[in-house]
């Protein structure tokens, strides 16, 4: 998943961790929204 | 509007224009005019891409959408973070490496001139028309609610920003988007706080959520499956939002110059990527909060009389029609029913759930809710009468009607300024990108003599001005189409985005495919997508327009491979 960009990713070792973070937050949000929907349905 | 509202509205818009002009002192070449000398940090990129995506309709339509259909609209954005990741892996590195001005330049390097020209032309066609509609849509709503003249509303909505967009190019657009973002954020937060403040004393935030939830407005996650299986015509559910939304976001952020032009202004590939990834993190919660305001407005109207129809212009049409007498009777019935409904609602929230009074109030509420739905349904039926030819959808009027009727002086002016600023943020970026594609992909590319930097810069300003005038003219002509304009923007995008995305996907991921194959497949697929849309409009097939992006992209991909397999065989 790495690319030819010559700059290192900030905070993490590589951009792959950034991509995982973004997708993990998406999954977390969907999970929280699911619980939110269940609670107030 | 009160004089306080006018002062805040005019003051806010004037500040933005002056700030835009102040930031217009740039070097006179294409790099400065379109790419801010590739100098912006990630957080400016983030604000710029969010400001470009969030048009006036976003803030008008989304709360109304939550009011009528619940919060499930947020699922439309579930594919966006995935698209941001794909962009960062493939698109952004290629665009930065080649030091291009427009995304379509990349296609000439990868395929050939005709593929670049076709794609850039499709972009100009789609973006030019949809920007005109983006001007007209909020103008129609504002002119209807506030009684403003539509001609001048269109001029102010689409014309004033041309001043700083022409003079300052991408830098003026990005600079003003920062101020616009802060004002929009403050305006929406104040609106949310005020709705809560206007609820009866016994209704706190948690109670408001319970009321919204019981009415089915907190349906954030829906699967789209019914007893008959998956509903392909359902636009907003987990599956269509993730898959359809992914293709839509990938094509919009990866191939639409109005967005590509924003992150090409970054000082480095790293800053572009960070801006896009942060957008992937922030966009969904932000949209969730805007929709939540719509639910709170719904709860507010449980305790206050709701208009029989939020678009007063349509009521005025009925007042002059054959339904005029029936309308008077219906309105009287509706007002009596509303008084009873609100009484029942207060009875429920003020009594013990196990008490007899609670049960009676609950039953009475159910009956009055049914009456209300029937009475509003009657208005819609009358408007749909071919003889009347009205607009039966008042979703986009709900939030602003509430703002005008119930918010305090000053805040009304601020929220109308929010609508203008949201429009300006996206229109400014669109004009800048239209000018970039015109000069880079057509004028410079097809002119034989070499132009000086100053000449290119001057021409770019002229093209920005001409596109601005074109979009305002489209807005003036589009007025007659009515409120269906807002849907038209999305449909228009879906007709072209899929095919453009398909060309880019083949460019990035199918290295064996040559220019001629992708060019032929793009034309065939575009015709196919238009045909599918026409069949869908006539009810011969049932497919939501959101899926057209996926169909277009997949069509180009598959056909390119097939044609590529045939073409070399013939060549041999």
A30 and B238 within 8 Å at the Cβ level: the answer is yes
- For residue B91, count CB atoms less than 10 angstroms from its CB and return exposed for 0-12, middle for 13-18, buried for 19 or more: buried
- What residues in A contact B281, CB-CB < 8 Å? 21-22, 25
* CA–CA distance, B432 with B43 (Å, rounded to integer): 20
Inform me whether the C-beta atom of residue A5 falls under 8 Å from chain B C-beta atoms: yes
Inform me whether the C-beta atom of residue B283 falls under 8 Å from chain A C-beta atoms: no
Residue in chain B nearest A8 by alpha carbon:
B270
Burial per residue of B190-203, b for 16 or more beta-carbon CB atoms within 10 angstroms, e otherwise: bbbebbeebbeeeb
Reduced to 3 states (helix: H, G, I; strand: E, B; else coil), residue B385 is coil
Reduced to 3 states (helix: H, G, I; strand: E, B; else coil), residue B40 is strand
- What residues in B contact A15, CB-CB < 8 Å? 88-89, 273
Inform me whether the C-beta atom of residue A33 falls under 8 Å from chain B C-beta atoms: yes
- For residue B65, count CB atoms less than 10 angstroms from its CB and return exposed for 0-12, middle for 13-18, buried for 19 or more: buried
- For residue A3, what pLDDT band results from cuts at 50, 70 and 90? very low
- What residues in A contact B88, CB-CB < 8 Å? 3, 15, 18-19
Q: Could you say which of A5, A10, A19 has the minimum Cβ distance to residue B85? A: A19
- What residues in B contact A7, CB-CB < 8 Å? 268-270
List, as one string, the DSSP characters of A1-41: ---S-SSPPSSSSSHHHHHHHHHHHHHHHHHHHHHHHHHH-
A33 and B274 within 8 Å at the Cβ level: the answer is no
Beta bridge partners of B225: B230
Helix axes B411-437, B56-69, angle to 10 degrees: 120
> Which segments of chain B have a pLDDT < 50?
483, 571-572
Residue in chain A nearest B75 by alpha carbon:
A30
What pLDDT digit, counting tens, does each position of B466-489 carry?
999 999 998 888 766 554 555 677
Q: What is the phi/psi pair of residue B317, to 5°?
A: -65, -45
Residue in chain A nearest B70 by alpha carbon:
A37
Looking at every residue in chain B, the average pLDDT score rounds to 88
Determine how many CB atoms are found less than 10 A away from the CB of residue B24.
Answer: 17
Q: Which long-range contacts (CB under 8 A, 24 or more apart) does B482-486 make?
A: B482/B140, B482/B391, B483/B137, B483/B140, B483/B141, B483/B311, B483/B391, B483/B393, B483/B396, B484/B391, B484/B393, B485/B133, B485/B136, B485/B137, B485/B140, B486/B57, B486/B61, B486/B133, B486/B137, B486/B396
The confidence score (pLDDT) of residue B396 equals: 84
Q: Could you say which of A10, A22, A36 has the minimum Cβ distance to residue B220? A: A36
What pLDDT digit, counting tens, does each position of A20-38 carry?
999 999 999 999 999 999 9
How far is A5 from chain B, CA to nearest CA, in Å? 6
Please provide the size of chain B in residues. Answer: 572
* CA–CA distance, B551 with B545 (Å, rounded to integer): 10
Inform me whether the C-beta atom of residue B41 falls under 8 Å from chain A C-beta atoms: no
CA dihedral B356, B360, B363, B367 (to 10 degrees): 180
- What residues in A contact B216, CB-CB < 8 Å? 41
Inform me whether the C-beta atom of residue A11 falls under 8 Å from chain B C-beta atoms: no
B88 and A15 within 8 Å at the Cβ level: the answer is yes
* CA–CA distance, B129 with B136 (Å, rounded to integer): 11
- In this structure, are strands B229-230 and B225-226 parallel, antiparallel, or unpaired? antiparallel
* CA–CA distance, A11 with A17 (Å, rounded to integer): 9
Predicted ipTM?
A: 0.90
A7 and B288 within 8 Å at the Cβ level: the answer is no
Reduced to 3 states (helix: H, G, I; strand: E, B; else coil), residue B226 is strand
| Residues contacting residue B100 through CB under 8 Å, at least 6 positions apart | B106, B264
Reduced to 3 states (helix: H, G, I; strand: E, B; else coil), residue B221 is coil
| Residues contacting residue B212 through CB under 8 Å, at least 6 positions apart | A40, B218, B295, B296, B298, B299
Residue A1: pLDDT above 50? no
Q: Could you say which of B74, B93, B273 has the minimum Cβ distance to residue A4? A: B93
Inform me whether the C-beta atom of residue B85 falls under 8 Å from chain A C-beta atoms: yes
Q: Could you say which of B92, B209, B285 has the minimum Cβ distance to residue A40? A: B209
Helix axes B269-302, A15-40, angle to 10 degrees: 10
């Amino acid at each position: 998943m790495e690319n030819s960009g010559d700059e290192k990713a900030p905070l993490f070792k590589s951009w792959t961790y950034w991509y995982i973070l973004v997708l993990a937050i998406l999954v977390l949000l969907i999970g929280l929204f699911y619980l939110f929907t269940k609670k107030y349905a | 509007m009160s004089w306080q509202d006018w002062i805040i509205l005019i003051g806010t818009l004037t500040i933005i224009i002056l700030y835009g002009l102040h930031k217009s002192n740039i070097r006179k070449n294409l790099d400065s005019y379109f790419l801010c000398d590739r100098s912006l940090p990630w957080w400016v990129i983030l604000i710029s891409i969010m400001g470009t995506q969030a048009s006036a309709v976003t803030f008008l339509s989304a709360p109304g959408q939550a009011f009528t259909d619940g919060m499930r609209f947020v699922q439309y954005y579930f594919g966006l973070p995935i698209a941001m990741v794909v962009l960062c892996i493939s698109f952004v590195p290629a665009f930065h490496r080649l030091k291009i001005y427009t995304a379509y330049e990349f296609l000439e390097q990868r395929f050939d001139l005709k593929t670049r020209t076709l794609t850039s032309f499709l972009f100009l066609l789609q973006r030019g028309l949809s920007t005109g509609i983006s001007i007209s849509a909020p103008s129609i709503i504002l002119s209807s609610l506030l009684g403003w003249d539509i001609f001048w509303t269109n001029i102010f909505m689409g014309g004033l920003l041309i001043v700083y967009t022409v003079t300052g190019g991408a830098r003026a657009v990005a600079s003003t988007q920062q101020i616009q973002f802060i004002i929009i954020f403050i305006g929406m937060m104040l609106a949310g706080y005020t709705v809560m403040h206007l609820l009866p004393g016994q209704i706190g935030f948690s109670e408001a959520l319970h009321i919204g939830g019981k009415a089915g407005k907190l349906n954030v996650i829906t699967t789209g499956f019914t007893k008959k299986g998956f509903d392909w015509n359902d636009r907003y559910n987990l599956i269509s939002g993730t898959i359809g939304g992914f293709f839509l976001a990938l094509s919009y952020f990866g191939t639409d110059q109005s967005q590509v032009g924003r992150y090409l202004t970054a000082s480095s590939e790293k800053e572009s990527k960070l801006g896009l990834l942060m957008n992937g993190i922030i966009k969904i919660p932000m949209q969730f909060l805007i929709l939540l305001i719509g639910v709170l407005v719904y709860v507010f109207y449980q305790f206050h009389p709701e208009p029989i129809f939020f678009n007063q212009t349509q009521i005025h049409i009925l007042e002059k029609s054959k339904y005029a007498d029936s309308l008077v009777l219906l309105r009287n019935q509706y007002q009596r029913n509303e008084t009873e409904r609100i009484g029942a609602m207060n009875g429920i929230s003020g009594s013990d759930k196990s008490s007899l009074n609670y049960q009676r109030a609950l039953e009475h509420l159910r009956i009055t809710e049914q009456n209300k739905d029937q009475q509003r349904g009657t208005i819609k039926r009358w408007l749909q009468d071919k003889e009347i030819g009205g607009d039966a959808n008042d979703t986009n009027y709900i939030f602003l009607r509430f703002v005008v009727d119930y918010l305090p002086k000053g805040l009304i002016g601020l929220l109308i300024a929010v609508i203008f600023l949201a429009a300006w943020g996206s229109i400014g970026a669109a004009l800048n990108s239209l000018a970039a594609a015109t000069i880079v992909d057509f004028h410079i590319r097809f002119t034989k003599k070499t132009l000086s930097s100053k000449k290119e810069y001057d021409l770019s300003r002229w093209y920005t001005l001409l596109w601005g005038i074109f979009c305002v003219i489209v807005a003036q002509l589009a007025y007659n189409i009515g409120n269906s304009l807002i849907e038209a923007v999305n449909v228009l995008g879906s007709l072209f985005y899929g095919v453009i995305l398909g060309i880019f996907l083949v460019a990035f991921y199918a290295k064996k495919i040559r220019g001629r194959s992708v060019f032929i497949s793009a034309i065939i697929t575009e015709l196919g997508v238009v045909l599918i849309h026409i069949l869908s409009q006539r009810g011969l097939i049932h497919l939501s327009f959101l899926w057209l992006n996926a169909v277009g992209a997949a069509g180009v991909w598959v056909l390119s491979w097939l044609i590529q397999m045939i073409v070399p065989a013939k060549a041999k």
